[in-house]
Structure 1
Amino acid sequence: MVRINDVTSYTHIDGVGVIVLNSPPVNALSAAVRDGIHAGVRQAIADAHASAIVLRCDGNTFIAGADIREFGKPPAGVGLGEVQRALEESPKPVVAAMHGTALGGGLEVALVCHWRIAVPSAKLGLPEVGIGLLPGAGGTQRLPRIVGPEVALELMTSGAQVEAADALGIGLIDELAPEDDLQGAAVALAKRVVAEKRPLRKLRDQNDKVEAARGNPELVAAFRKANAKKFRGFAAPEKIVQCVEAAVNLPFDEGLKLERKLFVELMQGEQSAAQRHYFFASRQAWKVPGLKKDAAIVPVQTVGVIGAGTMGAGIAMNFLNVGIPVHIVETRQEALDRGLATIRTNYGNTAKKGRLEVGAIEERMALVTGSLELQDLSGCELVIEAVFEDMEVKKHLFGRLDRVAKAGAILASNTSALDLNQIASATARPESVIGLHFFSPANVMKLLEIVRGDQTSDSVIATSMQLARKIGKVAVLVGVCPGFVGNRILGQRQREANQLIFEGATPWAVDRVLYDFGFPMGPFAMSDLAGLDLGWNKDKSTGATLREVLCEMGRRGQKTGAGFYDYDGQRTAQPSQLVEGVIRDFARKKGIAPRQVSDDEILERCIYPMINEGAKILQEGVAVRASDIDVVWINGYGWPVYRGGPMHYGERIGLPKVLSRMREFEARHGPQFKPAKLLEELVASGRKFSDLSPLARTPAFQA
């Protein structure tokens, strides 16, 4: 074996030169890896004893993609294009031997090799769309030539990973290798290629599949139409489609030039910067500063859920999905039966969509039991309450639970806004109490706000974070305050949206501006969807708010055919002149003269207070880091990932601009717009949210 550099070696096996990469943890295409491949190819070509070349990796994976840490930095070492040319133009056949994952640039390297082989457990894909990019190393031009334009479009715009058996079926690889002998199988393939004098296959020269689509422009048009809703607002998918069109209609080198041009546009654009920010933010969120590394993990064998409503049933499903038994406790048998039926129905619906084997429904239902006795939770290592959002109700329940739960059990509340420290005070073990704020529907929504109280132990926090990962959630650790991170910031947007319609904006104008910004829907459309009568009590209604008046009029949202909007039989929303009149009446009673409200003001009034509230949350130490706030809002509230979250967005538009507008709004509209002290300090010192150090377990802000 010859050592080429720190991450690359070359060896000679039975007439085949084998280049081996070993750059933990994922053999990313760093400068050292690129240099090593390039030098390895030159050495193999010069090796008179090698008639073919195999490229493989040590460790857990083949090349898993580009080294994102190098993005935006001056180029170093041999460029990826030069590496690919060396492989593709090699006079000796090159075989890519893949295991683990061959993603992004890793797969693009494999595509310039003349043959590809993988073990059955390998996965392949071009996931660049997830960070706002397109495959920029020839992937958009070579993939359509090997799998056809239709499959290439689907793979690249979804970023999906393909299992090796499926990759063989679509022609992406040439052979499957035994799991325990990838190198041997790759060497054998290389020797057969030489013995059979097979010509070197360069994908750049294979045009059969793209030529077949050349006279069918409807193919791409149909793809755009079918995915219009999915791609709304995103720049990268459309540019990928344009590249595939080029692969179909242009010579390879011209298509490659367009790919490079569009790649650079995306790389330098705000969307990719935002999506790359989120990529790192979602990984940072799992890291808890100050948490003891040796904190004991509670072995959770059984989970108890108190409450079988929509939320309780959804929470239970998360654990059933990963094989953890759940016992649900209710106060009434009919409520318990209804909750268990909801779980079965949800699984049935999933099976109908082909996402769950029918047999798995019974396997999961066999793991759930129910009763009407709190005492039946005495054997659970984790108990989660999902009862009515009332402090006295929750404190009474936790007092009872404290007497029932076994020593060492974690006692969790699903509260969305209440003071967890007060809830914990009802027990003799506040160190065991934590908030697990699931978002509705709990079996679908990814976000889990994990709320630590003043006395919550490191063991309970560490266990909760680990469990969140196990059940497939995106967990963010937050502190105690009204509404925690997500709902506290939401309150700022909701307040301004409601105020703006009294000042002259219409509900549909506010919704349109926020929808165009990238949210799935605006606040008034969302209210109609959820039901305006959510939490409304007819007997206690005073008509003092717009929502109460609309409910009293029978306008309770989509379910009644009318809310803020009018709805037809297909639940298609139409602006309501009646509601406009009701709003104007309210405004007159409040002494507010209607005026023209611009789209810019709507956006700034709704968004800038959110950024400001995020600054207050950081100032108070409620969030560990600014990027955690972004993770909460992207996963729990539909903030468009291509805008990076409220804190990242604030940095992109400029914190001085946010501060200036907040001061203007404060002078014009009142103290609710008072800028956060942290925002003022950051602007004064020329710093950003991302310059702040992560907070440890101290409640006070540390600059």
Structure 2
Amino acid sequence: MNDVTNNTHTETPAAAQTDTDTGQQNVPACPSTFTLQVQDDIGIITMDVPGERMNTLRASFVDDIQALLADIKGNASIKGLVLRSGKPDSFIAGADINMLAACTTAEQAEALSKAGQDIFNQLAALEIPLIAAIHGPCLGGGLELALACHGRVCSDHEKTRLGLPEVQLGLLPGSGGTQRLPKLVGLTTSLDMMLAGKQLRAKQALKVGLVDDMVPISILLDTAIALARSGKPRHQAKRDITTWALEANPLGRKLVFDKALSTLRAKTRGKYPAPEKLLDVVKIGFEQGMKQGLAAEAKAFGELVMSSESGALRQLFFATTEMKKETHWQGASPNTLAHIGVLGGGLMGGGIAFVTATKADLPVRIKDISHQGINQAMASAHGLLVTKVRKKHLRATDMQQQLGRITGTLNYSGFERVDVVVEAVFEDVEIKRNMVAEVEAHCPEHTVFATNTSSLPIHQIAEGAARPGQILGLHYFSPVDKMPLAEIIPHAGTHPATVATALKLARAQGKTPIVVQDSAGFYVNRILAPYLNEAARILLEGEPIEAIDRALVGYGFPVGPMTLLDEVGIDVAAKISPILVRELGERFKAPEVFSKLLDDNRHGKKNGRGFYRYDTKKSAKKAKPVDESLYKLLNIKPQSQLPAQDLAERCVLLMLNEAAITLDEGVIASARDGDIGAVFGIGFPPFAGGPFFYMHQLGIPAVIDKMEEYVRKYGERFTPCEPLRRLAAEGKSYY
């Protein structure tokens, strides 16, 4: 995804000079971040945005590149060109999407697209070969620039990624990517990349013909120079006979487009307009030619920039980017991280150890009470990595290196040097207090104790500790290797440096962490509880299980609430409810359905007994069947009666109401954190931007009106909370 940058760089023009020792001619191309160095007869263009970790493209660069082109055309000694990055770990991460925030109309955004198209067309029209030397991320506008070059060479490094991920921001490639990529790699491959925002590794890029060569980084520049000297490369999309037969004629292409449209509609359910517009633009290019395709691309780009969906997705992107820069907490710096300990080798402990070893690249020591627990964690890690090796996403040697970072013990040997211990044992306060005492006895004084709990108060776990300031909650979500969120929960006595250290570890593990208050349910489970409770009430009213799930998936959630309960565990959900009732009141009281299910030994997917059946084989196209015996257990005669919109809004409105209360109480520090937590933790529809951005876009008065409508239809539990009424009365919102 594109990095966000703001600063531009201006250099003072100077006369061209020749280094008498090397014979290289240094030509200041223009007052910009682009420099031109002539080596024999090859011009080497280096892009380096100063003060930024990665290069990004900006509107101001149009004039810079124009001046660069003038310098190149005015130098007859240049027979070829190589474009490279001055950054050590990246090529160009994309376009600076801050530019889009300044657009107030679709026409302004369309003009930005046309300007990018024009400058890239000029690069493509150069008579001398222009070769891109790519190392690291080459994404979005960066790949569009590389596509405008006549050839591409990339490094074989793991960091090298090529893709057009604009759909992830509710956009489409706006500088010619929708037209050039299909011509280079073929229709099917290009649609697969663009519609899913897929990023290719170096080997994949070479295989599909996106790059002309792949070499070690040590010879990347030399290879690109040699390619530039050999003339403009000829390209032919690498397709098998079936794909070629489909794409080579209008009827075949129609089948490809129709299939793609059907697939994406099933996935997006009409909630994301960008993929369909992208498909239309690519189709226009094939049917009417590149000129018309570029015009359609610019127009669609402008329309999408002004869409609410793109606004929400860009808001999420800016929020996560901003959070990554927050390395301190309340002025405190994080401690050094060199060794990590994990208590418990079960599903959660094994997952935490896995992301520590593979994402954070840190050695991790697992302590369990039996060899079985350690072996289970090691086997799980091995299985995940073997799959990556099989798919050629990871080298076998790298797998062995990552597995070598995970070790196990039945005592505390090796824990005398750990910096953080993550505890992932049973949800029992006394057991966790015992773990604190043992860690304080066997680990260094600076060791942070992070408890992975989904519901237990952190201050209770810290009671009686010798070093309570080094204790906090670090709540991961299952499965740990896939779920991106982590909640960090300090209690009143937690030191700021402890929080900063936990933030550092979570980010190193590939997580997006939010800091939340030490209160019942923390944030994510607290707003999730009323959502799930309402789904259970709807079930008891007689609505079929699949109808409830279908309504929420149609609303934009990745899975419905009944499926989610099966995945998380009905027993886990049932344990959280009494805690919320005790601490926060009767509004969290769960329907009797949960106790009845537990009495019938229904824990969900984990024991094969839940709302759905897991004892039957199903085809890839068919959904898992509902366990019909559950209706008899609950004395229900299922019959769809309510509109899908009502089913969904009943669940979502209660979640929105509770989110507003948590922010008012200080459970979360900001609406931004609340949106990140909901989207990354429970799959709140990304196109809506999270609960707070969603309410902001709808308008607080409109949200209140809808809640009051549901009070009349379904009961007092939908009464708008005081924080929402106060915002409406003051004419304020969350953003």
Q: Work out whether the TM-score is over 0.5.
A: yes
TM-superposed deviation, 1:69: 0.2
Match status 1:569 vs 2:616: yes
Match status 1:130 vs 2:157: no
Residue type at the aligned position of 1:67 = D
Match status 1:405 vs 2:443: yes
Q: Which residue of 2 aligns with 1:37?
A: 65
Q: 1:28 aligns to what SS in structure 2?
A: coil
1:459-538, aligned counterparts within 5 Å? 459-503=497-541, 505-530=543-568, 532=570
Q: Is the 8 A contact 2:327 2:503 kept in 1?
A: no
Q: Is the 8 A contact 1:149 1:210 kept in 2?
A: no
TM-superposed deviation, 1:140: 1.5
Q: Which residue of 2 aligns with 1:108?
A: 144
Q: Which moved more, 1:80-89 or 1:96-105?
A: 96-105
1:74-223, aligned counterparts within 5 Å? 74=103, 75=108, 79-121=115-157, 122-164=160-202, 166-175=204-213, 179=217, 189-193=227-231, 212=248, 214-217=250-253, 218-221=255-258
TM-superposed deviation, 1:139: 1.1
Q: Which residue of 1 aligns with 2:593?
A: 546
Match status 1:611 vs 2:656: yes
In structure 1, distance between residues paired with 2:318 and 2:410: 45
Q: Which moved more, 1:267-276 or 1:96-105?
A: 96-105
Tell me which of 302, 317, 320 is aligned to 1:279: 317
TM-superposed deviation, 1:509: 3.0
Match status 1:317 vs 2:345: no
- Quote the sequence identity (%): 33
Q: Is the 8 A contact 1:527 1:557 kept in 2?
A: yes
In structure 2, list runs of 5 or more residues that go unmatched: 1-26, 238-243, 576-589
Q: Which residue of 2 aligns with 1:23?
A: 49
Q: Is the 8 A contact 1:164 1:176 kept in 2?
A: yes
1:152/1:362 CA distance change after superposition, 3 Å? closer
Per-residue displacement from partner, 1:324-361 (whole Å, max 9, x unpaired)?
34333334565555555555555556666665556666
Match status 1:7 vs 2:33: yes
Match status 1:635 vs 2:677: no
Per-residue displacement from partner, 1:588-635 (whole Å, max 9, x unpaired)?
xxxxxx995443332222112222222222222222322222222222
Residue type at the aligned position of 1:636 = G
In structure 1, distance between residues paired with 2:331 and 2:249: 56
Q: Which moved more, 1:495-504 or 1:664-673?
A: 664-673
TM-superposed deviation, 1:432: 0.6
Per-residue displacement from partner, 1:383-429 (whole Å, max 9, x unpaired)?
22212212333234323433333211111100112211221223121
Tell me which of 689, 699, 721 is aligned to 1:654: 699
Per-residue displacement from partner, 1:152-195 (whole Å, max 9, x unpaired)?
122223333334555444333345677467666655544543xx
1:535/1:227 CA distance change after superposition, 3 Å? closer
Q: Is the 8 A contact 1:20 1:55 kept in 2?
A: yes
Q: Is the 8 A contact 1:504 1:597 kept in 2?
A: no
Q: 1:79 aligns to what SS in structure 2?
A: helix
- TM-score, scaled relative to structure 1: 0.83
1:346/1:290 CA distance change after superposition, 3 Å? closer
Per-residue displacement from partner, 1:291-342 (whole Å, max 9, x unpaired)?
25562523332x3222232222222222233553433333456555555555
Q: 1:651 aligns to what SS in structure 2?
A: helix
In structure 2, distance between residues paired with 1:378 and 1:8: 51
In structure 2, distance between residues paired with 1:677 and 1:282: 29
In structure 1, distance between residues paired with 2:379 and 2:201: 35
1:492/1:550 CA distance change after superposition, 3 Å? closer
1:364/1:47 CA distance change after superposition, 3 Å? closer
Residue type at the aligned position of 1:34 = V
TM-superposed deviation, 1:99: 4.0
TM-superposed deviation, 1:82: 2.3
Q: Which moved more, 1:407-416 or 1:158-167?
A: 158-167
Q: Is the 8 A contact 2:458 2:518 kept in 1?
A: yes
Q: 1:449 aligns to what SS in structure 2?
A: strand
In structure 2, distance between residues paired with 1:316 and 1:451: 20
Q: Root-mean-square deviation (CA), in Å?
A: 3.9
Q: 2:138 aligns to what SS in structure 1?
A: strand
Tell me which of 651, 664, 667 is aligned to 1:622: 667
1:99/1:462 CA distance change after superposition, 3 Å? same
Q: Is the 8 A contact 1:608 1:662 kept in 2?
A: yes
Q: Which residue of 1 aligns with 2:453?
A: 415
TM-superposed deviation, 1:664: 4.7
In structure 2, distance between residues paired with 1:544 and 1:29: 54
In structure 1, distance between residues paired with 2:485 and 2:292: 43
Residue type at the aligned position of 1:629 = G
TM-superposed deviation, 1:480: 1.3
Q: Which moved more, 1:645-654 or 1:543-552?
A: 543-552
Residue type at the aligned position of 1:23 = V
TM-superposed deviation, 1:219: 4.1
Q: Which residue of 2 aligns with 1:645?
A: 690
Q: 2:520 aligns to what SS in structure 1?
A: coil
In structure 2, distance between residues paired with 1:343 and 1:100: 27
In structure 2, distance between residues paired with 1:200 and 1:585: 67
Q: Is the 8 A contact 1:15 1:52 kept in 2?
A: yes
Per-residue displacement from partner, 1:262-289 (whole Å, max 9, x unpaired)?
3334333232222212211222233449
Residue type at the aligned position of 1:463 = T
1:58-69, aligned counterparts within 5 Å? 58-60=86-88, 61-69=90-98
Q: 1:37 aligns to what SS in structure 2?
A: helix
1:341/1:79 CA distance change after superposition, 3 Å? closer
1:210/1:278 CA distance change after superposition, 3 Å? farther
Q: 2:302 aligns to what SS in structure 1?
A: helix
In structure 2, distance between residues paired with 1:164 and 1:595: 51
1:182/1:403 CA distance change after superposition, 3 Å? closer
Q: Which moved more, 1:415-424 or 1:231-240?
A: 231-240
In structure 1, distance between residues paired with 2:415 and 2:319: 37
In structure 1, list runs of 5 or more residues that go unmatched: 538-542, 588-593, 691-703
Q: Which moved more, 1:328-337 or 1:422-431?
A: 328-337
1:47/1:180 CA distance change after superposition, 3 Å? same
Q: Which moved more, 1:517-526 or 1:291-300?
A: 291-300
Tell me which of 477, 481, 487 is aligned to 1:439: 477
Q: Is the 8 A contact 2:36 2:44 kept in 1?
A: yes
Residue type at the aligned position of 1:68 = I
TM-superposed deviation, 1:290: 6.9
1:445/1:575 CA distance change after superposition, 3 Å? closer
TM-superposed deviation, 1:104: 1.4
Tell me which of 338, 344, 357 is aligned to 1:300: 338
Q: Which residue of 2 aligns with 1:695?
A: none
Residue type at the aligned position of 1:2 = P
In structure 2, distance between residues paired with 1:150 and 1:457: 54
- TM-score, scaled relative to structure 2: 0.79
Residue type at the aligned position of 1:73 = A
Q: Is the 8 A contact 1:501 1:507 kept in 2?
A: yes
TM-superposed deviation, 1:92: 4.7
Q: Which residue of 1 aligns with 2:368?
A: 330
